[in-house]
Amino acid sequence: MDKRQFSRANVAFPAKLLEIGAEDDPVRIEVHQLGEGGCLLKGDEFLGVGRVFSIDLNVSGNYLKPIGRVLYEYRGKNSEIFSGVEFYGLEEEATKTVPGISKYFESK
């Protein structure tokens, strides 16, 4: 049984993560799935369950910068690392944009 509140679309585009309060360089990562409530990220390293990031997303000209918290992580078949991220702190305009982005990718 799927516990997700929102559906996700399969996607493949780059994003940047910056840990809240950190001065480090952003982590470059790939968005693997995108939905209204969060995303699934694919990368080379575990990010750490519970870590909070701002996420720079530029999808088909739509720029969003939600805050996300890593809920779970697992290693894929080809040793890639997947991190499930929950969005929060999206501005009202962004909450309208994300469903449109998801629908765009679902139609492809």
Which CATH number fits the domain that encloses residue 70?
2.40.10.220
Q: In this structure, is residue 54 part of a structural domain?
A: yes
How far, in Å, CA of 100 to CA of 11, rounded? Answer: 13
Please give the backbone phi and psi of residue 72, each rounded to the nearest 5 degrees, phi first.
Answer: -155, 160
Q: In this structure, is residue 96 part of a structural domain?
A: no
- Cβ 35 vs Cβ 5: under 8 Å: no
The end-to-end CA distance of the chain, in Å, is 26
Residue 68: pLDDT above 80? yes
pTM greater than the 0.75 cutoff = yes
Host domain of residue 30: 9-89
Q: In this structure, is residue 69 part of a structural domain?
A: yes
What's the rounded mean pLDDT across residues 11-36?
Answer: 86
User: What share of the chain in percent tops pLDDT 90?
Assistant: 37
Q: Encoding tokens for residue 42?
A: 């694919």
Confidence at residue 92, expressed as pLDDT on a 0 to 100 scale? 58
Pairing state of beta strands 67-75 and 62-64?
unpaired
Confidence at residue 1, expressed as pLDDT on a 0 to 100 scale? 44
